[in-house]
Amino acid sequence: MTIKSFGVVGAGQMGGGIAQVAACSGFDVVLFDLNEAALERGVGVIAGSLARMVKKEKLSQSEADQALSRIKQTTAMSDMSVVDIVVEAASEDEEIKKTIFRNLDEICKPGAILATNTSSISITRLAAVTSRPGQVIGMHFMNPVPMMQLVEVIRALQTEDAVFDAVNQLSLDMNKVPVDVNDAPGFVSNRILMPMINEAVFCRYENIATAEEIDTVMKLGMSHPMGPLALADLIGLDTCLSIMQVLYDNFKDSKYRPCPLLVQMVDAGYLGRKSGRGFYQYD
């Protein structure tokens, strides 16, 4: 299976990052979002990221310009009919993702791979709503996508070996390190990471220490490059809550119960960097 063209559904933080890395790797990219304003914001973030890479001499100006020129913006999902693979990077909501996969199944050409960047939802259930379950797979990129090397390549129960091999090679072609992971709630990354973040939120909830002090303990004591609460703000507290709810609902184990403070902050709209306020304040 040869992949030459690349589609991304969702021009937010993750979708934009995936589109940027694909374009920098030489792929023609179709970037879809529901409205023009979201697309413009997403491409603006990509342009800013590329400019920073030029400034740091990680790319030439010519390479950055070429990458940006490879990204086609669209509000018509039907434009995904030409791509060899499409990666869904919409909100972490199973029903939204199932609707997208049903639509892509009708739109995409025979043989096209349908991938999802979900950070916790069952790939097997997403595959089951399509007529091509063997061609559905997970590509879980890490945030920020241009900087982080890892991609969890997640097989649904139905995923064909040829599809896995193609996506594994695609990840290498994008200068990422693919890790073979089977379908399970939270996969490997978030099954380990999110309970740690949730426990850090409990430490704040119980007033054991301030956010800064909790993060300092983990940075200086555990050599983490970023504290768990700052990381939660970067990921988005709504996304963290969604993942914890997936873990709790699937495992029925109280150790995955979302911290009440995390629930309250999401209810208040304190979502982290993207809203300007989370455990820290942002400009």
Is 119 assigned to a binding site? yes
Is 15 assigned to a binding site? yes
Is 147 assigned to a binding site? no
Is 11 assigned to a binding site? yes
Q: Which of 5, 117, 119, 120 is catalytic?
A: 119
Q: Is 224 a catalytic residue?
A: no
| Chain centroid offset of residue 187 CA | 13
Is 33 assigned to a binding site? yes
User: Any alpha helices (H) in the chain, and if so which ranges?
Assistant: 13-24, 36-55, 61-69, 94-107, 123-128, 161-173, 189-205, 211-222, 228-235, 237-251, 260-267
Report how far residue 38's alpha carbon sits from residue 195's, in angstroms, rounded to the nearest whole number: 31
Is 35 assigned to a binding site? no
Report how far residue 201's alpha carbon sits from residue 174's, in angstroms, rounded to the nearest whole number: 35
Query: 30 with 74: CB under 8 angstroms?
Result: yes
Q: Is 119 a catalytic residue?
A: yes
Question: The tokens 């995955």 sit on which residue?
Answer: 256
Q: Which of 5, 117, 120, 140 is catalytic?
A: 140
Report how far residue 3's alpha carbon sits from residue 169's, in angstroms, rounded to the nearest whole number: 9
Is 14 assigned to a binding site? yes
Report how far residue 67's alpha carbon sits from residue 58's, in angstroms, rounded to the nearest whole number: 13
Is 109 assigned to a binding site? no
Name residues whose C-beta falls within 8 Å of residue 213's C-beta, 6 or more positions apart in sequence: none
Is 7 assigned to a binding site? no
Is 207 assigned to a binding site? no
Is 12 assigned to a binding site? yes
Q: Which of 88, 120, 152, 198 is catalytic?
A: 152
Q: Which of 5, 122, 190, 242 is catalytic?
A: 190
Residues noted as catalytic: 119, 140, 152, 190
Binding-site sequence positions for NAD(+): 10-15, 33, 92, 97, 119, 143, 274
Binding-site sequence positions for CoA: 49, 56, 119
Binding-site sequence positions: 10-15, 33, 49, 56, 92, 97, 119, 143, 274
